[in-house]
């Protein structure tokens, strides 16, 4: 498989970045809508949170299938079809007439979106030379973080102005544009490769049954189980709390839905602050220092959110938790890339699955606290849990 030239790389990265942007926006767009959805469908905010948890559950499960599909049918082709499916399901989601239909369509959106970012990263690994790969992946990561930020803001903005359905119409258009661009690149790539001289016989692709067998073998490895376990705990704690931070800002800080979503954008700003200075952070703090600092920032931020009030405090806590989460999570990402070097692709899909299984579990647990008015206490418990998780990861990272 030939490597891309810098010009070809830019042409492919733009639609992939747009697809990744829309994927992360679709994942987070419902967080600031929960209060509005509860009011429209006459259910509690906790019940409305099913639109968040179902996306995470299905997204995590489908990771196990997209890896083999990408290997068998081509990563860029699978990504293109997944983006096209997201456009279709986003449009149908906007037509939902009741909460069960909305939850089902969010599940379909999660199923389609699961094939975008991981396979895009794997495609970059296949086609971009090593010396440019880190920079290219950083650009792709910036697009996904910006998508998360925009989803958090636009979800609140749309709910307050044009209505939550309008948000899914915009997502459908965005996914549709990305799908057209990707399918066009796919056709151009197929024509270019058809004109090349015949290469040696292709390597046999891995079947689904073999992929599942390999997954079972990896789960039998203690190091893999350790990384997946702490990743699931991280997802449950941090993402579970994050899903209800806009609700807390709205209910306890007196912010409007759109203002709460806007403040939550600072969570993503913290992620960008880390990603743009990752090399310097690592030089300053070291790997274990990133774990310790990241866990401390998340814990302190959640405690301030639970105990305080005021717009400026809310802004500070969102920035702190975002920066701290990416410090901690990036360290776990590095551990995941090395937990099974001989089967890195399957290992990374397991890593993504554990993260989103943890997230869905955390959202379901936190939903109970919001309905009982215990959200501030739940943030305190999460802060304690993140502190303990940081201590565990700090000790175990030092052993490897």
Confidence category of residue 212, pLDDT binned at 50, 70, 90? low
Q: So what's the pLDDT on residue 64?
A: 77
Q: So what's the pLDDT on residue 197?
A: 57
User: Helix 222-234 and helix 375-397: axis angle, to 10°?
Assistant: 150
Q: So what's the pLDDT on residue 294?
A: 95
User: Do 113 and 26 meet the contact criterion of CB atoms below 8 Å apart?
Assistant: yes
Q: Region 293-307: what's the mean pLDDT?
A: 94
Could you report the per-residue pLDDT of 349-388, keeping only the tens digit for each?
A: 788 888 888 888 888 888 888 778 888 899 999 999 999 9
Q: So what's the pLDDT on residue 106?
A: 96
Q: So what's the pLDDT on residue 363?
A: 84
Q: Region 328-335: what's the mean pLDDT?
A: 82
CATH of domain 217-400: 1.20.1250.20
Q: So what's the pLDDT on residue 75?
A: 84
Q: So what's the pLDDT on residue 45?
A: 85
Residue 53 has pLDDT above 80, yes or no: yes
**Hunting for tokens 């469908």 — which residue is that?**
41
Could you report the per-residue pLDDT of 226-265, keeping only the tens digit for each?
A: 989 999 999 999 988 988 888 888 888 888 878 888 888 8
Lowest mean pLDDT among 78-92, 188-202, 325-339: 188-202
Q: So what's the pLDDT on residue 185?
A: 87
Q: So what's the pLDDT on residue 65?
A: 83
Mean pLDDT of the chain: 84
Confidence category of residue 131, pLDDT binned at 50, 70, 90? low
Q: So what's the pLDDT on residue 398?
A: 64
Nearest to 147 by CA among 19, 261, 259: 19
Alpha carbon distance 276, 142 (integer Å): 8
Q: How far is CA 103 from CA 7, 30, 110, in A?
A: 41, 11, 11
Q: Where in the chain is the domain with CATH 1.20.1250.20?
A: 1-205, 217-400
Give strand ranges (E) for the chain: none
Q: So what's the pLDDT on residue 201?
A: 41
Alpha carbon distance 324, 326 (integer Å): 6
Superfamily of 1-205 according to CATH: MFS general substrate transporter like domains (1.20.1250.20)
């Amino acid at each position: 498989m030939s490597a891309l030239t810098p010009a070809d790389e830019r042409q492919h990265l733009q639609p992939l970045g747009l697809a990744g942007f829309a994927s992360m926006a679709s994942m987070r767009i419902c967080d600031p809508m929960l209060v509005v959805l509860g009011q429209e469908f006459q259910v509690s905010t906790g019940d409305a949170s099913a639109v968040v948890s179902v996306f995470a559950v299905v997204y995590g499960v489908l990771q196990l299938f997209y890896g083999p599909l990408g290997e068998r049918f081509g990563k860029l082709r699978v990504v293109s079809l997944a983006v096209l499916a997201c456009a279709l399901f986003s449009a149908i989601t906007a037509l939902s007439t009741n909460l069960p239909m909305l939850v089902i369509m969010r599940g379909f959106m999660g199923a389609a979106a699961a094939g975008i970012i991981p396979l895009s990263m794997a495609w970059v690994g296949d086609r971009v030379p090593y010396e440019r790969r880190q920079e290219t992946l950083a650009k792709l990561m910036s697009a996904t973080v910006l998508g998360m930020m925009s989803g958090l803001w636009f979800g609140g903005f749309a709910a307050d102005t044009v209505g939550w359905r309008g948000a899914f119409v915009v997502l459908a258009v965005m996914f549709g544009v990305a799908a057209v661009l990707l399918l066009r690149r796919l056709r151009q790539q197929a024509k270019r490769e058809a004109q090349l001289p015949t290469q040696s016989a292709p390597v046999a692709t891995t079947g689904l049954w073999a992929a599942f067998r390999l997954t079972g073998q990896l789960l039998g490895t203690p190091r893999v189980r350790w990384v997946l376990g702490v990743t699931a705990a991280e997802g449950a704690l941090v993402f579970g709390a994050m899903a209800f931070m806009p609700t807390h800002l709205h209910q306890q800080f007196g912010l409007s839905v759109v203002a709460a979503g806007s403040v939550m954008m600072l969570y993503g700003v913290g992620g960008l602050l880390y990603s743009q200075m990752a090399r310097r952070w690592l030089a300053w703090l070291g790997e274990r220092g990133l774990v310790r600092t990241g866990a401390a920032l998340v814990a302190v931020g959640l405690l301030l959110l639970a105990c305080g009030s005021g717009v400026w405090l809310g802004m500070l806590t969102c920035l702190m938790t975002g920066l701290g989460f990416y410090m901690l999570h990036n360290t776990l990402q590095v551990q995941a890339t090395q937990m099974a070097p001989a089967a890195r692709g399957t290992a990374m899909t397991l890593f993504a699955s554990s993260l989103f299984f943890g997230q869905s579990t955390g959202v379901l647990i936190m939903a109970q606290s919001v309905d009982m008015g215990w959200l501030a206490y739940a943030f305190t418990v999460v802060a304690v849990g993140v502190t303990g998780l940081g201590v565990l990861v700090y000790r175990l990272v030092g052993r490897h």
